[in-house]
Amino acid sequence: MDMDMIDLINKQRLLDTFLELAGINSPSFDERAIGAFLVQRLERAGCTVVVQEYDRSFNLIGVKQGKNPDAAPLLLSAHMDTIEPTEGIKITVDDEMVRSAGQTVLGSDDKSAIAQILEALDVIREQDLAHGDIEVVFTSAEEKGLFGAKNLDYRGIRSRQAIVMDSSGSVGKIIVGAPTHITYEMRITGRPAHAGIEPERGLSAIRVAGAIISAVPDGRIDPETTANIGIISGGTATNVVPKEVVLHGEIRSHHDGVLIRTRDLIFDTARKIAESWQSNLEIQEHEEYRKFSLSPEGPFMELLKAAFRRCGMEPALTLTGGGSDANVFNQHGILAVNISTGMQKVHSTDEFILKRDLYDGCHVLLQCITAMGDLKQQAVQVTSDL
């Protein structure tokens, strides 16, 4: 296959599909409407579809049989949900781009990926292109903590290689590493008192929290590690010395040792400060997802890089500070590479995607799918342990 494959893409249909998807409100844990649309489109493209329910939502798994039984199956994945606000979404389309009108997000995260996958499947069906087995996984509630991927039934997934389409920026970026992400909650308990009558009898949990926030590491710790306190809640009234404050924070790192040292420093510092104020401190932590680190070499990575080059792009291998379903897939032994779809300024009301990137993303995907027909199943080596 060569660069002429882009001529097989029905650009108007791809754009129309994206606009239709963007117009379906699908916040996390409320993906039923978009799910019904996707079941129809997957079946139309020749996929057998399974709706995999879990306690809070569901995942869609579509399987399209290939003509080469010896080829390695390929997993294609995107998530159905979007962050809010999306209710009453308004979109502006011009000659170059599709963007939010400014009151809501656009939803190109991750509906640009879904549209590219659907168009690629339609082209394969229409043109009878050779390919191996394709497994399509559309997950739910990715934006709330990768819930769909964490609850996916991996017993039915045959693919050991996956393309996750959930990275922002112009098409051409390949994510080869993402961090481990832990979150924590600090519950600080002081002593309430009337602020106007006997403040001396109180112990302000807010002041203790302020001392902790001022002292712990924050922001960019090193090039591959970050820390942040993002939510503060507490107090009941201006005339009450606040009894309780809750801090919610996170730490991310590509290096296990640095993450653990940073966590310990934050927690130990907080405990010492709380003790010095004679206040009580409770800390709970949770691992959101584990890091992965992929070799830039190997058959699958070489296949991806060659696909980009056939599309006239030099692939950019990079690390990210964010997480995606690729973290979870890699943790389950699937070599999952996250690639950019062209979405820009995601998670904001300035979100947009260039039409050129929407088309290029589909072009790259087609090149990858057809090339997989010549790739045998490979052993997967992924670094993901904490």
pLDDT tens-digit series, residues 287-327: 999 999 999 999 999 999 999 999 999 999 999 999 999 99
Lowest mean pLDDT among 225-229, 311-315, 353-357, 382-386: 382-386
Residue 16 annotated to the active site: no
d(CA 11, CA 44): 18
Phi, psi of 111 (to 5 degrees): -75, -20
Tens digit of each residue's pLDDT (9 = 90 or more) over 74-83: 999 999 999 9
252 touches 183 (CB < 8 A)? no
Residue 166 annotated to the active site: no
Q: What proportion of the chain, given as a percentage, has pLDDT over 90?
A: 91
Place of tokens 């008192």: 193
Tens digit of each residue's pLDDT (9 = 90 or more) over 82-124: 999 988 899 999 999 999 999 999 999 999 999 999 999 999 9
The confidence score (pLDDT) of residue 5 equals 84
Rounded to 5°, the CA angle 300-179-59 comes to 65
Catalytic residue of the set 110, 133, 135, 142:
142
The confidence score (pLDDT) of residue 376 equals 64
242 touches 236 (CB < 8 A)? yes
The confidence score (pLDDT) of residue 380 equals 44
The pLDDT of 233-250, averaged and rounded, is 98
All domains in the chain, ordered by first residue: 3-178+291-374 (3.40.630.10), 180-289 (3.30.70.360)
Distances in whole angstroms, Cα of residue 8 to Cα of each of 99, 368, 373 = 25, 15, 18
- Label the pairing between strands 352-354 and 343-344: antiparallel
